[in-house]
Amino acid sequence: MIKICSLFSGSSGNCIFISYNNTSILIDAGVSGRRIENALKSIGESFDNIAGIFITHEHSDHISGAGILSRRHKIPIFANTETWDAMRPFMGKLDSGNIRYIEPGETKTIGDVSVKPFPIPHDAACPVGYNIFIEDKKLTIATDIGHMNDLLLANLEKSDMILLESNHDIEMLMTGRYPWPLKQRILSDHGHLCNEMAGKVVAHLAQCGTKRFLLGHLSQENNFPELAYRTVCNALLEKNITPMKDVYLEVAMRDRASNVMYINTGA
């Protein structure tokens, strides 16, 4: 059985746990090492089985705990060449054996878990989302997305579970107190995905067969969980898909673990 949990999700820090048989991985480690250790403990897990931390991009909300966790628990960190170049100065001293490379489009298999990064449009050196393949199942992590395009959508389709960004409500952002340049950055093609677009994408993916959705990377300033949830629910209902009947939908919170999700392989 595959076990998945979003430990932290949001502009204040991201970390996702995925495990199968004796192999566990983290995607991103963007809050303190101590908080990630405690969050893992809260879902009955420890670092003993963590085989690697896969980094999506070098922004601090994705890497701030990675260096310390790698040192403390002797865990390899996987990222592409450009991301390593960009984040290396913020990582502290790392054991050279724990600096591992995985380039977009390349698949790395650890135990029964295969991980494949795909490019995403975001203002970082070489940002990626991840497909995780376990037996016949496909899981997708896709946050920090400036806009959606067909190529990206193809990487998301046919996932059994997806954690998708639902960053902001455009109206809250526009009327909020962020300075204009920051608003422009978030709204740009290399910024973040809004609730409305997340709704469209979720509805499309649900029509293509995806049954489990986690909405993540919510902005603290320009969104709130109920609004993201409601916006995506409405997009689903427009396509005659009923949330929590036809598909599972949950908002991944910034400061606590999501519900633990289990997916049976071979079913």
Which residues bind to Zn ion, rule: CB under 5 A?
59, 61, 144
What's the CA gap between 211 and 244, in Å, rounded? 10
Q: How far apart are CA 240 and CA 32, in angstroms?
A: 42
CB of 16 to Zn ion, least distance (A): 12
**Among residues 112 and 255, whose Cβ is nearest to Zn ion?**
255
Least distance in angstroms from the C-beta of 43 to Zn ion: 22
Q: Find the residue with minimal CB distance to Zn ion.
A: 59
Q: Which of 42, 1, 8 is CA-nearest to residue 24?
A: 1
Residue 134 burial by Cβ neighbours in a 10 Å radius (0-12, 13-18, 19+): buried
The DSSP string of 221-255 is SS--HHHHHHHHHHHHHHTT--BTTTBEEEEPPSS
Nearer to Zn ion, 23 or 188 (CB): 188
In the bound complex, what is the minimum distance in angstroms from residue 240's beta carbon to Zn ion?
A: 33
Name the residue nearer to Zn ion (CB basis): 10 or 67. 10
Give me the least distance between CB of 56 and Zn ion, in Å please.
Answer: 8
Measured from the CB atom, the residue of 24 and 219 that comes closer to Zn ion is 219
Q: How far is the CB of 14 from Zn ion (least distance, A)?
A: 6
And the tokens for 142? 């896709």
Instruction: Give whichever of 144 and 169 is closer to Zn ion, judged by the CB atom.
Output: 144
Residue-by-residue DSSP string for 82-148: HHHHHHGGGS----GGGEEE--TT--EEETTEEEEEEE--SSSSS-EEEEEEETTEEEEEE-S-S--
